[in-house]
Chains A and B, each alone.
Chain A
Amino acid sequence: MSTAVGDAAPHQRTFKVWRGDKTGGKMVDYTAEITPGMVVLDAIHQIQATQASDLACRWNCKAGKCGSCSAEINGKPRLMCLTRMEALPEGDVTVQPMKAFPNIRDLVTDVSWNYTVNKKITKFTPANPGTRFVAEDGTFRMQQRDVERTQEMRKCIECFLCQDTCHVIRDHEKHEVFSGPRFFARAASLEMHPVDVADREPFLKNEGGIGFCNITKCCTEVCPEHITITDNAIIPLKERIADRYYDPVTMLWRWVTGADKKDG
């Protein structure tokens, strides 16, 4: 837990920033003047404004709400706008682009793969009016406690830090066969929606490759929105898939009762 920002005197810090693109590059040293409450993104802006006006970095809201300024600070995937200088240990600060995606330039990476994966997830498909939870006029009647699991996953700001830190993508480069934590969270938000009637379990098991996840929880550790991705999205989905494809008793039960669709 961080402490309140005081009025400490400005001081100098050295930043080692990746300059280059996918063909190559190097870490370049810059010095920035640190004032109270400053975050890494401020330092990068200062370097941009005074020393390297072409230093490429993405950013938008500067308040941890848009998920643009993802980078690896001192080796850890983080949002630059939420990383306070006081929270970093003494010494140089390294700032690098995300490793799991192709580098475009400096701190900017090509995250288009994520948008491609997103398209594969069946969109929200509400039940017909006049059914459970859907009034005749098409408006929904859902209890707060029934939507909270979905709402947690919808806090996602698509910074893709979870995708970056996930070793299945980062080290094993299973982009073709694995959707990654961000999209398991999205799928979970839809699968747990009381009104949704689409079935994404076959996708998750097959193209989505949820079986590649070995629940080592780095996604949850880096999530700046503190979404419990592993425990509240991935493991519940794995359990649903176990019901459907691996548990002989529930499989038999489904066969007997004819419930080949998901619950609820």
Chain B
Amino acid sequence: MNQPSATTATLPQGSGFGATMRKDNWWIGPIGIAALLLSFLIYSTWAAFQGAYYWVPGTNYLSPFYSPEIWGHSPHAFILGQPGFWQSWMPPFSAALLILGLPAGFRLTCYYYRKAYYRSIWLDPVACAVGEPRKSYWGENALPLILWNVHRYFLYAAIVFVFLLGYDGIIAHMFPVNADGTSFTNVQYLATGAENPAFDKTKPVEAHHHVFGMSLVSLVLILNPLLLAGYTFGCHSLRHIVGGRKDCFAGGSGCGTDLHFKAWSFVSFLNRNHATWAMLSLVVVGLADVLVRLVAMGKISDFRFF
């Protein structure tokens, strides 16, 4: 077998970190992606620990970081209050901490994000035909990265999230009102998580009815699940599951059916721009939390159209 030995040292391309003969601005891409990923990571971690200002009394706005709210203080919570197992030594309770691992895991193990952070953060490789900082390499052939093969399980969770957030997006357009049409605000807790001093048990604790409305925030909250759907339904694992694993689509034993083919074609169509869907959905989910938070804090209005 003709096995090339390490003979590249004499070539002018060089081998150290950043060594390249490329003349274009190859570093712009990785820096941009790294900036975006890191700023999202920092913001989302901070936001997840807040446990406050993730919903807006008088509306059905709920930050996507906090949905589904299993325990919590907003009217969206399945169980009001915080779970009994939450220990005092733990950080202050935040509903996001219970669920955020699933979408985060989906993105962490996503084939596109893997490319993005291997390149821009781990620098392996930082760009094509550019030297790397480390010589040793195991890739996804050994622990820990071999675990990324579980991506499909995060996908199953992500599909559930698409529908949950879709529901949130729809009800964000339904504004709770009292019988006289004024905004319904008689809730037990404030957006801060503290008890509402104005809470009046004698008055109705549920909205009399809901009116349809639209605001900048509600639009972002419906845009978010749409982009998330575009991202989730273009997943490489889904592409495999719905048909890619088949070698044929002629029906019968061993083959996929016409339905498999159509599903595979649809996922393939979304998959072609998986990176764009991934990044757009990332930006918008962050934006949704920012907007809800600012409105809840009273810093901005929700730009209600009607």
Contacts and interface: CB of A to CB of B under 8 A. Distances in A.
Interface string B141-168: 1100110011110000000000000000
Contacts of A143: 248-250
B129 interface: yes
A239 B149 CA distance: 8
Contact of A222 (B7, B115, B128, B272): B128
Contacts of B15: 171
A96 B245 contact: no
A22 B24 CA distance: 27
Contacts of B145: 214
Contacts of B245: 239-240, 243, 263
Contact of A175 (B4, B124, B136, B272): B4
Interface in A214-264: 214-218, 221-222, 230-231, 235-236, 238-240, 242-243, 246-247, 262-264
Contacts of B293: none
A75 B13 contact: yes
B42 interface: no
Nearest to B141: A211
A249 to B, nearest CB: 9
Contacts of B203: none
Task: Identify the interface centre among B128, B138, B237, B252: most chain A CB within 10 Å of its CB.
Answer: B128
A6 interface: no
Contacts of A243: 240, 245
B137 A168 contact: yes
A145 B3 CA distance: 39
B194 interface: no
A102 interface: yes
Interface in B206-221: none
A97 B129 CA distance: 12
Given A165-B129, A216-B115, A173 B6 contact: yes
Interface residues of A, number: 72
B225 interface: no
B246 interface: yes
B271 A146 contact: no
A170 B129 contact: yes
Interface stretch (A34-42, A45-53, A56-64, A109-117): A109-117
Interface string B229-252: 000000011011000111111101
Contacts of B131: 171
Interface in A2-17: none
B175 interface: no
B1 interface: yes
B247 A146 contact: yes
Given A231-B271, A239-B244, A263-B254, A145 B129 contact: no
A260 to B, nearest CB: 14
Contact of B137 (A77, A89, A100, A174): A174
A222 to B, nearest CB: 7
Interface of A: 18, 20, 22-25, 27, 72, 74-77, 89, 91, 94, 96-97, 99-103, 110, 112-113, 116, 132-133, 142-143, 145-146, 165, 167-168, 170-176, 191-194, 196, 209, 211-218, 221-222, 230-231, 235-236, 238-240, 242-243, 246-247, 262-264
25 contacts: A22-B7, A22-B10, A25-B10, A74-B23, A99-B13, A101-B4, A103-B7, A110-B2, A112-B2, A132-B254, A143-B248, A165-B128, A172-B137, A192-B247, A194-B250, A211-B140, A214-B118, A215-B114, A216-B115, A216-B124, A217-B115, A239-B240, A239-B244, A246-B146, A264-B246
